[in-house]
Structure 1
């Protein structure tokens, strides 16, 4: 989280300076400024993390014994490298998507890039947070040989994550085009680019729960130091993603590439869960599937309610004063959230109550 924060702050500062004319109107100077911003963000992160380590007395000792402890170094490399490959599976798939999309036309790769910016938003906010917290708790349980506790944490995190990301995915299906229009539609991003990006976003949106759930599912392996299994599964899914993308890009263009990524994301999760069940025994898969279906049904109902509200609100003159139907979109989004919350409680989805209790605890703790 700290790395992303510092990187974004430095990049925004560089963009602001470039827009103010500090790069003297040269594209090369502008790119050089962005590169320097990335280096500065890395240096700042190192300084801040070093300060935090010193504050908590966790500065590592650089002695001859630690520097030449090759067994410890090899253990770190053995655990870290497969983990890096496994965690970067989505990024590798995205890179493959872009490369394949370049063979379609000039708009296809750009459409995938703009659309996955919105897909990464819930993943970066929720999935990374759930994955980080669950990994630490699950690692502690696995070290104590409490595998049932580890599985409870895994599926508790996954259920809450699905409860959050499924409505976000459905919301993207209904209002993804509006978001793209509001965020990006200016300058060279014209109506053609908007339609191409919205088409890709539609198929990407189906995979948001799968992309997010992977961050938690792999923790079931990393917590037990089984780093290689997710890597092997990721490699298989990446190869399948490339095959499906090439097969679907001709009839569906960039939408086929996005659909291929979505399909392989679900397949990745299913394979990992199957292996976990084989290794650890019975898991609450049926109740998790029921949650998925119920949350999806509630989200779809909320989506249609919000869409009809949006269509009705678009004709109101007062709201039309806000550009790009922004007023109607905002109120329709409120309708979506309200209907979803109401139906979640009416359908007695436990995760809705859990979220409320969590918010209450945090609010009472602060007050």
Structure 2
């Protein structure tokens, strides 16, 4: 079997993953500071709820449907008409997108102000008391400040998709560092000052301003990259009259906005329902979500972006065998890396969250509120990651209506399961619902690919999954009984149990990769081959 194409995809995605890794590691530092400064109660609940709204627009219109739809369209225009036509079409797209985003920002910000005033009336407090709660009132207070971030970051995501068509993957991924740098700086200053109580209300507004500044700077840098790549938008009235880019883009974006972002919509539904469970539910979901987002962001999103660009070229040539091979190759590597991550989180969620979050305003009670969320979200890592890969062949072939249909089924399933499970398992039920809905979406996409005549190497994928699960479970079980001894020996006053957990992580990696080597897992030599090629070509 020719694995050259797979190696190319893996090499490109590893480059993006390396850039994203730094951003996600800083994101973990941010989680640690957020937990200690904002705690796990009403203040953290308000911040998580308010920030989730512009973040959802980012995932839907930035790195989600719009970016996904732009890649095949811009690649096609570039191949047929050249860069000047691309610039004219981008001028149309970004002009219209800017107007839409400005309208969205104004509507959401105005709605938040109106709801805040309405919540103070006696009738609303009687029939919908959660709207008058402290957490919702604080969220409505800072949401107008946060919403312009959606304008900046959605444009950033669209520009990143255009840069991907020029095989510029790493530099756009580095832009996400800015948000973490700004928020870490502000949170660290608050932590050193020991802010607590009512002082944190004003601090939420300060954090919102930092988010806006980071978004504006990131947009400016991305525009500079676009100019250097020779794809800076060109404005022309004639292009508006003659180009059909908006119609083609609309047909792809509308279904893709839902179809490509089922997981993100599910997360937003989760938060909306969790706000009714009490002040600890949203922080528990948010902190664990951010930790789980590490493997999804590091590898799956990067791999999905590279796959969409690569498969778009294969789809234009009508080469289904190449799409099938690349998809099988990518799924094997997703499971090879994500299954042990899931096992690690399930076995060691408590020390992980204790090290990352416990301290300051985050209490043991907040930690236990996250227990079932961590276990269920951890188990869902392979499903969350593989869906990013499975969407690539649909997006590359402009089959957004298909993904829309399946995503609507998954979203409906998620909402129904939420309403059933949340009352018994609390926020854990919300997490479990999201995982089950994501698994359903994966299953539907896989079945459709097979019906479309895109054969997958199902046996090799199943072998990789089973082998990875068996080796990871063996390593996890052994270290689960060993960790209490490590914790006793390697816990110190100023750094706590972090050294013990670090040693645990190293041992888990050694046991997993060692066991995979003994089991002759083909993914290991494939990874090493990519790394050697990258080293020789550097």
The counterpart of 1:189, out of the listed 359, 362, 366, is: 362
Counterpart-to-counterpart distance in 2, 1:67 and 1:32: 40
1:365 matched residue in structure 2: 537
Question: Is residue 141–residue 147 contact of structure 1 (8 Å, CA) maintained in 2?
Answer: yes
Mind listing any 5+ residue stretches in structure 2 that lack a counterpart? 1-172
1:15 matched residue in structure 2: 187
1:338 matched residue in structure 2: 510
Question: Is residue 274–residue 281 contact of structure 2 (8 Å, CA) maintained in 1?
Answer: yes
Mapped pair 1:93 → 2:269: no
Change (3 A) 1:84 1:41: farther
1:73 matched residue in structure 2: 246
2:256 matched residue in structure 1: 83
- Measure how far apart 1:319 and its partner are: 4.0
Question: Is residue 349–residue 371 contact of structure 2 (8 Å, CA) maintained in 1?
Answer: yes
Which deviates further from its counterpart, 254-263 or 121-130? 254-263
Mapped pair 1:277 → 2:470: no
Q: Give a deviation string over 1:159-183, Cα, whole Å, max 9, x none.
A: 1111111111111111121111111
Mind listing any 5+ residue stretches in structure 1 that lack a counterpart? none
Taking structure 1 as the reference length, what is the TM-score of the superposition?
0.92
Which deviates further from its counterpart, 203-212 or 151-160? 151-160
Question: Is residue 305–residue 335 contact of structure 1 (8 Å, CA) maintained in 2?
Answer: no
Counterpart-to-counterpart distance in 2, 1:311 and 1:27: 36
Map residues 32-71 of structure 1 onto 2, 5 A cutoff.
32-69=205-242, 71=244
1:328 matched residue in structure 2: 500
The total of aligned residue pairs comes to 363
- Measure how far apart 1:259 and its partner are: 1.2
1:155 matched residue in structure 2: 328
- Measure how far apart 1:27 and its partner are: 4.5
The counterpart of 2:383, out of the listed 201, 204, 210, is: 210
Mapped pair 1:286 → 2:459: yes
The counterpart of 2:311, out of the listed 122, 126, 138, is: 138
Counterpart-to-counterpart distance in 1, 2:268 and 2:354: 24
Which deviates further from its counterpart, 126-135 or 42-51? 42-51
Change (3 A) 1:44 1:82: farther
Which deviates further from its counterpart, 193-202 or 275-284? 275-284
User: Secondary structure of the equivalent of 1:186?
Assistant: coil
- Measure how far apart 1:280 and its partner are: 2.3
1:106 matched residue in structure 2: 279
Taking structure 2 as the reference length, what is the TM-score of the superposition?
0.64
- Measure how far apart 1:322 and its partner are: 5.8
- Measure how far apart 1:321 and its partner are: 4.5
- Measure how far apart 1:274 and its partner are: 0.6
Question: Is residue 115–residue 198 contact of structure 1 (8 Å, CA) maintained in 2?
Answer: no
Question: Is residue 449–residue 455 contact of structure 2 (8 Å, CA) maintained in 1?
Answer: no
2:289 matched residue in structure 1: 116
User: Secondary structure of the equivalent of 1:255?
Assistant: helix
The counterpart of 2:420, out of the listed 243, 247, 251, is: 247
Counterpart-to-counterpart distance in 2, 1:57 and 1:105: 51
Question: Is residue 108–residue 196 contact of structure 1 (8 Å, CA) maintained in 2?
Answer: yes
User: Secondary structure of the equivalent of 1:106?
Assistant: coil
Q: Give a deviation string over 1:89-136, Cα, whole Å, max 9, x none.
A: 212111212222233333223211221111111111111111111111
Which deviates further from its counterpart, 151-160 or 338-347? 151-160
Change (3 A) 1:6 1:83: farther
Q: Give a deviation string over 1:127-161, Cα, whole Å, max 9, x none.
A: 11111111111111001100110111112112111
Map residues 211-250 of structure 1 onto 2, 5 A cutoff.
211-250=384-423
Change (3 A) 1:252 1:35: closer
- Measure how far apart 1:48 and its partner are: 1.5
- Measure how far apart 1:355 and its partner are: 1.4
Question: Is residue 310–residue 331 contact of structure 1 (8 Å, CA) maintained in 2?
Answer: no
- Measure how far apart 1:224 and its partner are: 0.2
Change (3 A) 1:17 1:319: closer
Counterpart-to-counterpart distance in 2, 1:281 and 1:365: 33
The answer to which structure, 1 or 2, has the higher relative contact order (CA under 8 A, 6+ apart) is: 2
2:468 matched residue in structure 1: 295
1:174 matched residue in structure 2: 347
Question: Is residue 158–residue 216 contact of structure 1 (8 Å, CA) maintained in 2?
Answer: yes
Counterpart-to-counterpart distance in 1, 2:221 and 2:272: 36
User: Secondary structure of the equivalent of 2:361?
Assistant: coil
Mapped pair 1:350 → 2:522: yes
Q: Give a deviation string over 1:285-316, Cα, whole Å, max 9, x none.
A: 23212211111111111111222221222332
User: Secondary structure of the equivalent of 2:250?
Assistant: helix
Counterpart-to-counterpart distance in 1, 2:408 and 2:175: 27
Counterpart-to-counterpart distance in 2, 1:139 and 1:101: 39
User: Secondary structure of the equivalent of 1:139?
Assistant: helix
